[in-house]
Chain A
Amino acid sequence: MSRFVIGYFYKEELNLYGDTGNVDILAWRAKERGFDVEVKVVGTGTELRAADMQELSVLFMGGGADSGQKKMYEDLINTKKKYVKDYILSGGVGLFICGSYQLLGKYYKSADGSLLEGLDIFDYYTQHFGHDKRRSTGNVVATINKTLLEDVCFKQNNRIGDTLVGFENHGGRTYLGKGLAPLAKVTLGFGNNGEDYTEGLYYKNTICSYLHGPILARNPHLADFLIARSTSTDKLKELDDTLIISAHTASKKLEQ
C-alpha cells in the first residue's frame, strides 16, 4: 500500500475555525482510495529535517486566534521558514487557510499600524484597516481559476463543476502582487480584499484560501485534486459523494 502523509503544521496553535476537518477529510478520502494514511503533527519545538519534508504528501496549515499565532510565529520564522519555502517553491502540495495564507506573504499590517513580517514566499501583503471597517464575514461562492480547472488531476476527478463554496471570516485584506494568480473569483462574498473579486492564491501545487467550512467539507473536488496530485494519480476511485454534492449545490443558494 502506498503511503499518504499529511504534515499538519501547528495543529495546536492554528485551529480556530474547524480547520482540523480539512486534515480529517483528506485522511478519510485517501484511506477510501486504499492509501496508508499517516498524519504527522509539526508544532513549536518539532525539529524538522529535509527528509521529513520529502516524505510529505500534503502540507496543511490553518488559521488561529492572535494568541495562537503569537505562540507559533517565532518558531515558524526561526526554525521552519526555509523548509516551508523550499517545499512550496519546489512544487510540494499544500493547503494554507486564512492566518497561514497571510503568513506566506510579505507582511501583515495590523489595525494599530504595527507590521508583522511574513515568510515572503509570495508577493502579496495583508492589511487590517481597523475595526471600523467591516470585517469580511459571510458565505462565499467563487469560480475556480481556469488553469486549475484544466489541470489533469483536477479535471479527471471533478464531479462538482467550477465553483467553490465556504464561509469567510477575516479582518485582514490581502492584495496579490502582479503575476500572482488567485485560486478563484468570488461571485458572492468579499474574497481577498472585497475590491478585486479575487479569492485565495493558486501557485504550482499550493492552494491558499480564506474559506472555512472547512474548505474541503463541501468542496470534494479540491480535496481530490490535492490527493491526486500528491500521489501522481490521474483518476482516483469514485466515492459515493451524493450527500456532499447536494451540500455543495445547496450552499450556492445561501445568502452572504
Chain B
Amino acid sequence: MFLILSFGTKILYWIIKTLGLGAGLTWPGHLVLKLYPNIPGDPAVKFSKGLVLVTGTNGKTTTSKLIATVLQKKGFTVAANSSGANLVNGVVTAVLISYRGRAFDYGVFEVDEAALVSVLKYLNPTHVLFLNLSRDQLDRHWEPDLLLDKWVAALKELTTLPRVITDVAQEEFEVLDQFSPLHFSGTKPVELKGNEVYYKDSVVGTTVLTGPFNEKNFNAALVCLQNTGVEIKESVELLANVGFAFGRGEKVVLGGKNLAFFLAKNPASFNTNLIYLSAQKDVDTFIFVLNANIPDGRDVSWIYDILPEKLAQACAGKKIYVTGSRCLDMAVRLRYAGLIILAGNVSPDIKKVVRDVLEDPQTRNITVLPNYSAMLEVRKILLGRKIL
C-alpha cells in the first residue's frame, strides 16, 4: 500500500510541478491522508535513528534545513519538508516523495506551531526543538498562551517522551521545563562578529548565513545535532557553505538588478529584518508585499506592531513600492510611520509592480519584504517557481 501511495504521490507531484499548478507539496499528502489515514503509522514511515520536529514562530525552515543538511552529508537517509510545507499534509507529502524503498534513518520536519498538536497524534518524535513563540496569525492560533497549554498536553500524551530543546531566553517556555529540556542560546561569547557561530561561550566557526535570526537558529541546530550524536566541530564544518533557505535572506540577480528576499510574516520577523536592513546602506528600493490569505492570517492588524521608528529608519530616502492583496493597508501603515508613499507605487497587481520596479532605471539593489503567501507569489513571478 505504502509503495503504491509513494509512487502515486511522486507522479502527482511531477504532474503538478510540470503543469505549473502549484508547488505540489501539500495536497498529495492531504489526499493520501483521506485515502489511507493510517499512513503515518505504516512500517515504511519509520525513522530508525531519530525523528526531529522543529517548531516555533520564526526560524523553522532555516533551522530544520541546517539539521537535515548535516545528517544528509553524513550519509544518512533523511526525509525532510525543506520547502516549508509544515502542516500534517506537508509532512506526509515529504515522506512519500523522499521514500526510496527502505525505512529512513532520520526524519527532520519543520512543523507549524499550531499543527504540532495534530502532528504529535501521528508521530512520536525523538526530538522536539522549540525555537520561539510570538504573535503570528492570531485569527488562526488565537493567543500564544493557549498554544503553549496545547503543546504541553500533547507532549504528555506521547508514549515515549522526546528530548525537548528550548531557547532558554524565551520566558514563555518555562512551562516546558517540566520536560527537563536541553537549552540553547544560554550563554554566548561576549563578542561575536557577523559571520561567526558559537557553542556555549566560544566561537566554533563561521557561516555564510549571516543576518538577524540565524545566530540563534545555528546555535539551536548545533545543540540538537550534538544530542543526536554529531560533534559540534563536525556540524560546523559540514555547514560552513550552507546558504539561506528560500526567501530567508535569499539573494538573486535578475536583469542586472540585485534582489534580496526577506520573509516578513509577523511583527517579530519584520522588526528583526528591519534592524538588519537599516545597516544595509546600498539598498535603494523596498517592495512590501502584503496578503491576507489563510496561511498568512486574515487579520492585518499585526502590521501596526511593526515598530514605526524601525520602518522609518530602514526606508528613509529609499524608493518604496507596495503590493499584494492588502497593499492599501500596508501603504496606510507606512504613511502613519511617517513615510511618503506615492499612489502610483501602490497596486494589488504584483506582476505590474514587479515590472515597474525592474524597468525603473533608478533601482539597483532591491529588497523584497513579503509575508508568506506573498513570497510564494513574488517568487513565482520573478523566478518562475514558488519554492526551491
User: Which residues of A are at the interface with B, using a C-beta cutoff of 8 A?
Assistant: 15-21, 24-25, 28, 65-67, 135, 137-139, 167, 169, 212-214, 217-218, 242-244, 246-247, 250
Residue of A16, A20, A218 touching B332 (CB-CB under 8 A): A218
* A8 CA to B320 CA, complexed, in Å: 31
For the complex, is B174 an interface residue (Cβ under 8 Å from A)? no
* A18 CA to B346 CA, complexed, in Å: 22
Which residues of chain B have C-beta atoms less than 8 A from A66's C-beta?
Answer: 143, 145-146
- Segment 298-328 of B: residues with Cβ below 8 Å from A: 298-305, 308, 328
Evaluate whether A21 and B298 lie within 8 angstroms (CB atoms) in the complex, with A67-B145, A217-B329 already known: no
Query: At the interface with chain A, which of B219-227, B238-246, B253-261, B335-343?
Result: B335-343
* A109 CA to B303 CA, complexed, in Å: 31
* A247 CA to B328 CA, complexed, in Å: 5
- Segment 118-174 of B: residues with Cβ below 8 Å from A: 135, 138-139, 142-146
Which residues of chain B have C-beta atoms less than 8 A from A19's C-beta?
Answer: 301, 304
Pairwise interchain contact B332-A214, C-beta atoms closer than 8 A? no
Pairwise interchain contact B328-A243, C-beta atoms closer than 8 A? yes
- Segment 91-135 of B: residues with Cβ below 8 Å from A: 135
Task: Report the interface size class on chain B.
Answer: 20 to 34
Pairwise interchain contact B304-A243, C-beta atoms closer than 8 A? no
**15 more A-B residue pairs beyond the given contacts A16-B135, A17-B301, with a C-beta to C-beta distance below 8 A:** A16-B138, A17-B302, A21-B305, A24-B308, A65-B144, A138-B298, A167-B139, A169-B139, A213-B301, A214-B304, A217-B333, A243-B335, A243-B341, A247-B328, A247-B329
Pairwise interchain contact A218-B329, C-beta atoms closer than 8 A? yes
Which residues of chain A have C-beta atoms less than 8 A from B143's C-beta?
Answer: 16, 65-66
Pairwise interchain contact A167-B336, C-beta atoms closer than 8 A? no
Interface SS of chain A: mixed
Pairwise interchain contact B303-A18, C-beta atoms closer than 8 A? yes
User: Which residues of B are at the interface with A, using a C-beta cutoff of 8 A?
Assistant: 135, 138-139, 142-146, 298-305, 308, 328-329, 331-333, 335-336, 338, 341, 343, 346
For the complex formed, measure the closest distance between the CB of B296 and the CB atoms of chain A, giving whole angstroms. 13
Which residues of chain A have C-beta atoms less than 8 A from B301's C-beta?
Answer: 17-19, 21, 167, 212-214, 217
* A167 CA to B297 CA, complexed, in Å: 11
11 A-B pairs whose Cβ atoms sit less than 8 Å apart in the complex: A16-B135, A17-B138, A18-B304, A19-B301, A21-B301, A21-B333, A213-B299, A217-B329, A217-B336, A243-B341, A244-B335
Q: State the 6 A-B residue pairs at the shortest beta-carbon distance, nearest first.
A: A21-B304, A18-B301, A18-B304, A247-B328, A65-B143, A212-B301
Pairwise interchain contact B332-A243, C-beta atoms closer than 8 A? yes
Evaluate whether A242 and B329 lie within 8 angstroms (CB atoms) in the complex, with A138-B298, A212-B299, A213-B301 already known: no
Quick one: closest A residue to B308, CB to CB? A24
Evaluate whether A242 and B139 lie within 8 angstroms (CB atoms) in the complex, with A17-B301, A24-B336, A65-B144 already known: no
For the complex formed, measure the closest distance between the CB of B242 and the CB atoms of chain A, giving whole angstroms. 35
For the complex formed, measure the closest distance between the CB of A134 and the CB atoms of chain B, giving whole angstroms. 13
Evaluate whether A139 and B298 lie within 8 angstroms (CB atoms) in the complex, with A25-B336, A169-B138, A247-B328 already known: yes
Quick one: closest B residue to A249, CB to CB? B328
Pairwise interchain contact A169-B331, C-beta atoms closer than 8 A? no
For the complex formed, measure the closest distance between the CB of B306 and the CB atoms of chain A, giving whole angstroms. 9
* A24 CA to B304 CA, complexed, in Å: 9
Pairwise interchain contact A65-B336, C-beta atoms closer than 8 A? no
* A17 CA to B302 CA, complexed, in Å: 6
Which residues of chain A have C-beta atoms less than 8 A from B332's C-beta?
Answer: 217-218, 243-244, 247
For the complex formed, measure the closest distance between the CB of B129 and the CB atoms of chain A, giving whole angstroms. 24
For the complex formed, measure the closest distance between the CB of A63 and the CB atoms of chain B, giving whole angstroms. 10
Pairwise interchain contact B145-A247, C-beta atoms closer than 8 A? no
* A244 CA to B334 CA, complexed, in Å: 11
* A250 CA to B346 CA, complexed, in Å: 13
For the complex formed, measure the closest distance between the CB of A167 and the CB atoms of chain B, giving whole angstroms. 4
